[in-house]
Amino acid sequence: MDRIFTAFASRMSWLVGQPLAFVLAFTVVLVWAVSGPLFGFSDTWQLVINTGTTIVTFLMVFLIQNSQNRDAAAMQAKLDELLRAQSKARAQFIGIEHLTDTQIEEIRAALEEETNGRKGKKGKAHASVDRLLDRY
């Protein structure tokens, strides 16, 4: 079941990310809008688009979330492999995505502090980023 759903979710995510899917959705909305006068802008006419878009949105949330979860897990595995393969990298970082937001923030803050201390430029960890942003 997992393989079938994964294949289906991947295919559907790819399909709905194509320009043709947008054109199709836009066309449906356009046809619905143009048909308003024909149906007297009735409650039923409005209910058709509301129900259709709600159902499609509800189902797409699950498909897209499945694809994003799979992509994120694959990316983490690749990053973990890079950490494992680098002799100077700290292997303790492998798997930190399973920590709480607070724990990850503490690690990030400690890394920034460590970087600032090494450079002897406390508070200037983002100087190169600031210079880059100033260009634009």
Together in a domain, 9 and 40: yes
Confidence of residue 135 (pLDDT cuts 50, 70, 90): confident
Together in a domain, 54 and 83: yes
Together in a domain, 80 and 49: yes
Look at the chain and count its residues.
136
Together in a domain, 129 and 85: no
Together in a domain, 46 and 85: yes
- Work out how many domains the chain is built from and give that number: 2
Together in a domain, 74 and 130: no
User: The domain containing residue 131 runs over which residues?
Assistant: 99-136
Going by C-alpha positions, the residue among 47, 49, 16 that lies closest to residue 31 is 49
Give the end of a domain, one of 92, 107, 128: 92
- Exposure pattern of 92-113 as b/e (b: 16+ CB <10 Å)? eebeeeeeeeeeeeeeeeeeee
Mean pLDDT across 75-85:
92
Together in a domain, 109 and 83: no
CA distance 48 to 54: 10
Mean pLDDT of the chain: 88
Task: Summarize pLDDT for 117-134 with one digit per residue, the tens.
Answer: 765 554 555 666 777 677
Together in a domain, 121 and 88: no
Together in a domain, 74 and 124: no
- Exposure pattern of 23-50 as b/e (b: 16+ CB <10 Å)? eeeeeeeeebeeeeeeeeeeeebeeeee
- Model-level pTM greater than 0.75? no
| Token pair listed for 13 | 């995510």
